Chain A
Amino acid sequence: MTVAVQLHPELRKWVEERLARYPTRRSLLVPTLMQAQKYHDYASPGLMQAVGELLEVPASEVMSVASFYTLIPKHPVGKHVIQVCHNVSCYLRGCDEVIAHLEERLGCKVGETTEDGKFTLVTVECLAACGSAPVMMVDEKLYENVRPEMVEQILAEAD
């Protein structure tokens, strides 16, 4: 059963302010699903239905689109999302050690959320910061030249 979701008024306002910039309402679909994360936990079926109604897109298509993009969480995630790049330049400069250290420190594997719900750990593709590899992001903040010893400080900052 889909639980109905009321879109946050700020999100509606955000959408309405931008509609005039595009020839179709649907064009705002991906940005709206990104912006929704500021106000809603994740892209739940109810949220996708509500976004679909607002932008006049069938719910099934909203789900199809949402499922394509990795930055749109289709399941509940922790309070903070940790994204560690696992692509080539970061691999060459030791991201595997950082990821292994994070798994150990958080007590959860890549793709999982810590028991206290604070952190979700995922690995991601190149973050366009290969010049300071290895890199990771906690929510919107990028950390560069990361070494396992730095993890403690980074996690403390997020908290």
Chain B
Amino acid sequence: MTEQTKVVMRLDGVGDVHRLDVYEANGGYRALRKALAEMKPEEVIEEVKKSGLRGKGGAGFPAGVKWSFVPKDYPGPKYLACNADEGEPGTFKDRWILENNPHEMIEGCIICAYAVGLSHIYVYCRGEFYEGKRRIEQAAQEAYVKGYLGDNILGSGFSTHLTVHTGAGSYECGEETALLTSLEGGRGHPRIKPPFPASEGAWGMPTVVNNVETLATVPAVIANGAEWHAGMGTEKSKGIKMVCVSGHVERPGIYEVEFGVPISGIICDLAGGVWQGRKLKGYFPGGSSTPVLPPEKAELPYDYESIAEAGSMLGSGAIIAFDEETDVVRMAEVIARFYAWESCGKCTPCREGTRWMLQIYERILKGGGRKEDLDILLSICDNLEFRSLCPFGDAAVGVVRSTINLYRDEYEEYIREHKVYRRKFVPVRH
């Protein structure tokens, strides 16, 4: 029986945890007090490094290592951009944190700012998170009043500020360099790396970009110590992860588990298995950007390495399961449209490639697919992957290539039989 290991979600169900007094009564801001009173900034970075904490926004990069890349004696200001743009289809954990446990994230932000010497925290929150933005604003205000934010925090001599910054509807703005361009008041266009944000980020200054969940895990790491965190999970994927399960399961939701538990345990024991007694046809292990895996690969341990070895990615931790009755071609079209419409347009392979792929899907679903269409789709994938300016392009090919490989007969049936998909509505770009 797969069980949850609640860390960021340990106060789930306590009620009103978004209020400072409730959060404090449950041990909140203890880690910040400990860091400021007992640890030098370098020691905090060292502790997070030793803990093995990896970024939860998609790439899984070790957080402490990222922090250590920021120049120590930089003559200008340095910043933290907390990535609360949560746009990867299938992912809904950061919204939960923002709305239900905002102080834990803020505490993590302040500890990070102290460790790296960052003078301002920008929480870049996606535009649709009206409730989340209110909760973070309120929590930050409470933290200012209590002296956790602002000048000379808790008499330590360290100062940092926090500002909630709203996005306005754009998936690409979750990509770290596009996020920074947007923060500066531009279209959400990514920048070529290097330079990485840690050396040249917001307004040209060194900037740490971390995901909400990553930062919300930091207080527990500092409070309980690196060894406690490193003792959970697997050799290379240490710790815990909030896994978002959606699609055709009985109990969709967020389940926080140790890395290494079987994926089938997450889908069956925690999420109640495939709905309506049906069979699993396949699943996305880490959001719509990750290649689909077949049911045979649901026995894998849930960790970065095992999922990569199986040909996909753990991504943002979003398992989307679909049952045997799913029209895979239409499902892939939904996602192809998403990438075509959300491509920022800065680089040609992505702007054109995603648009061509959508056009081919549309013609297949209209019954006008051609014999060569699957080869064209696959060749667009080859020309798009690793050739776009940011990883958006790689993200867009996952579903196309994996579903053609796994369910080729369904595509061929559409094309051979001139099968027509009856749309219930016509999607319109706005």
Q: Are A26 and B425 in contact (CB under 8 A)?
A: no
Q: Across the interface, which residues of A come within 8 angstroms of B426, CB to CB?
A: 109-110
Chain A 91-119 residues near chain B, CB threshold 8 A: 91-93, 96-97, 99-100, 103, 109-111
Q: Across the interface, which residues of B come within 8 angstroms of A9, CB to CB?
A: none
Q: Are A130 and B186 in contact (CB under 8 A)?
A: no
Q: Are A26 and B91 in contact (CB under 8 A)?
A: no
Q: Which of B88, B320, B334 has its CB near the most chain A CB atoms (within 10 A)?
A: B334
Q: Which of A88, A110, A127 has its CB near the most chain B CB atoms (within 10 A)?
A: A88
Q: A110-B428, A131-B92 are in contact. Are A87 and B334 (CB under 8 A)?
A: yes
Q: Are A131 and B245 in contact (CB under 8 A)?
A: yes
Q: Are B128 and A24 in contact (CB under 8 A)?
A: no
Measured CA separation A115–B326 after assembly (Å):
36
Chain B's closest residue to A103 (CB) is B425
Q: Does A59 interact with chain B (Cβ within 8 Å)?
A: no
Measured CA separation A123–B169 after assembly (Å):
12
Q: Across the interface, which residues of A come within 8 angstroms of B342, CB to CB?
A: 125
Q: Does B371 interact with chain A (Cβ within 8 Å)?
A: no
Q: What is the 8 Å Cβ interface bit string for chain B, positions 389-430, against chain A (1 contact, 0 not)?
A: 000000000000000000000000000000000011111111
Q: What is the 8 Å Cβ interface bit string for chain B, positions 348-392, against chain A (1 contact, 0 not)?
A: 000000000000000000000000000000000000000000000
Q: Does B247 interact with chain A (Cβ within 8 Å)?
A: yes
Q: Are B245 and A30 in contact (CB under 8 A)?
A: no
Determine how close the nearest CB of chain A comes to the CB of B254; give it in whole angstroms: 6
Q: Does A60 interact with chain B (Cβ within 8 Å)?
A: no
Q: Are B185 and A55 in contact (CB under 8 A)?
A: yes
Measured CA separation A88–B94 after assembly (Å):
18
Number of interface residues, chain A, beta carbon within 8 A: 53
Determine how close the nearest CB of chain B comes to the CB of A148; give it in whole angstroms: 11
Q: Does A132 interact with chain B (Cβ within 8 Å)?
A: yes
Q: Across the interface, which residues of A come within 8 angstroms of B86, CB to CB?
A: 128
Measured CA separation A74–B347 after assembly (Å):
24
Q: Across the interface, which residues of A come within 8 angstroms of B168, CB to CB?
A: 30, 33-34, 69-72
Q: Across the interface, which residues of A come within 8 angstroms of B288, CB to CB?
A: 87-88, 126
Q: What is the 8 Å Cβ interface bit string for chain B, positions 51-75, against chain A (1 contact, 0 not)?
A: 0000000000000000000000000
Q: A87-B288, A109-B428 are in contact. Are A130 and B248 (CB under 8 A)?
A: no
Determine how close the nearest CB of chain B comes to the CB of A37; give it in whole angstroms: 10
Q: What is the 8 Å Cβ interface bit string for chain A, positions 129-145, against chain B (1 contact, 0 not)?
A: 11111000100101000
Chain A 28-87 residues near chain B, CB threshold 8 A: 28-31, 33-34, 55, 57, 64-65, 68-72, 83, 86-87
Q: Does B294 interact with chain A (Cβ within 8 Å)?
A: no
Q: A88-B331, A97-B424, A100-B424 are in contact. Are A128 and B95 (CB under 8 A)?
A: yes
Q: Does B159 interact with chain A (Cβ within 8 Å)?
A: no
Determine how close the nearest CB of chain A comes to the CB of B113; give it in whole angstroms: 15
Q: Across the interface, which residues of B come within 8 angstroms of A123, CB to CB?
A: 425, 427-428
Q: Are A70 and B169 in contact (CB under 8 A)?
A: yes
Q: Are A130 and B169 in contact (CB under 8 A)?
A: no
Q: Does B129 interact with chain A (Cβ within 8 Å)?
A: yes
Chain A's closest residue to B93 (CB) is A128
Measured CA separation A137–B132 after assembly (Å):
14
Q: Across the interface, which residues of B come within 8 angstroms of A65, CB to CB?
A: 185-187
Q: Are B129 and A128 in contact (CB under 8 A)?
A: yes
Q: Are B428 and A137 in contact (CB under 8 A)?
A: no
Q: Are A111 and B127 in contact (CB under 8 A)?
A: no
Q: Does A27 interact with chain B (Cβ within 8 Å)?
A: yes
Q: Does B19 interact with chain A (Cβ within 8 Å)?
A: no
Q: Are A130 and B91 in contact (CB under 8 A)?
A: yes
Determine how close the nearest CB of chain A comes to the CB of B206; give it in whole angstroms: 14
Measured CA separation A122–B430 after assembly (Å):
8
Measured CA separation A34–B167 after assembly (Å):
8
Measured CA separation A158–B203 after assembly (Å):
41
The answer, among A21, A69, A110, for a CB contact under 8 Å with B169, is A69
Q: Across the interface, which residues of A come within 8 angstroms of B284, CB to CB?
A: 88
Q: Does B184 interact with chain A (Cβ within 8 Å)?
A: yes
Measured CA separation A83–B169 after assembly (Å):
12
Measured CA separation A110–B428 after assembly (Å):
6
Q: A71-B127, A126-B87 are in contact. Are A88 and B166 (CB under 8 A)?
A: no
Q: Across the interface, which residues of B come within 8 angstroms of A27, CB to CB?
A: 183-185, 203
Q: Which of B167, B326, B344 has its CB near the most chain A CB atoms (within 10 A)?
A: B167
Q: What is the 8 Å Cβ interface bit string for chain B, positions 233-270, against chain A (1 contact, 0 not)?
A: 00000000000111110001110000000000000000
Q: Does A151 interact with chain B (Cβ within 8 Å)?
A: no
Measured CA separation A126–B429 after assembly (Å):
14
Q: Are A87 and B89 in contact (CB under 8 A)?
A: yes
Interface CB pairs A-B, < 8 A, 20? A21-B163, A24-B185, A34-B127, A68-B188, A72-B169, A87-B89, A88-B284, A92-B246, A92-B326, A96-B423, A99-B424, A109-B428, A110-B426, A110-B427, A110-B428, A124-B128, A125-B341, A126-B87, A128-B94, A131-B244
Leading 3 A-B pairs by shortest Cβ distance: A71-B169, A69-B168, A111-B428
Interface, chain A (partner B; CB < 8 A): 18, 21-24, 26-31, 33-34, 55, 57, 64-65, 68-72, 83, 86-89, 91-93, 96-97, 99-100, 103, 109-111, 122-133, 137, 140, 142
